[in-house]
Amino acid sequence: MAVMKVIEVMSNSTDSWEDATRKAIKHAAKSVKHIKSAFVQSQSAVVNDDDIVEFRVNVKITFEVK
């Protein structure tokens, strides 16, 4: 039986929600090993002068505790 743990990470990007998600995983991987999955719980965007200037995600990251 594996023991799994879930953490919640918020991330942003000026490029896309996908890039923000990748950044969240890379940042979490600096201190958490054995990441198994990521669930994007929510997405939002910052708009300035009718243009999206920042993409934001709230990601739940699941990892195995060994």
Sorted by where each starts, the structural domains of the chain and their CATH numbers stand as: 3-65 (3.30.1660.10)
Q: How confident is the model at residue 58 (pLDDT cuts 50, 70, 90)?
A: very high
Kindly report the pTM of this predicted structure. Answer: 0.90
The tokens of 3 are what?
């023991």
Query: 6-47, pLDDT tens digit by residue?
Result: 999 999 999 999 999 999 999 999 999 999 999 999 999 999
DSSP result, the chain: --EEEEEEEEEEESS-HHHHHHHHHHHHHTT---EEEEEEEEEEEEEETTEEEEEEEEEEEEEEE-
What is the C-alpha to C-alpha distance for residues 62 and 60, in angstroms, rounded to an integer? 7
* Contact predicate 13/23, CB 8 Å: yes
The answer, yes or no, to whether residue 66 has pLDDT greater than 90, is no
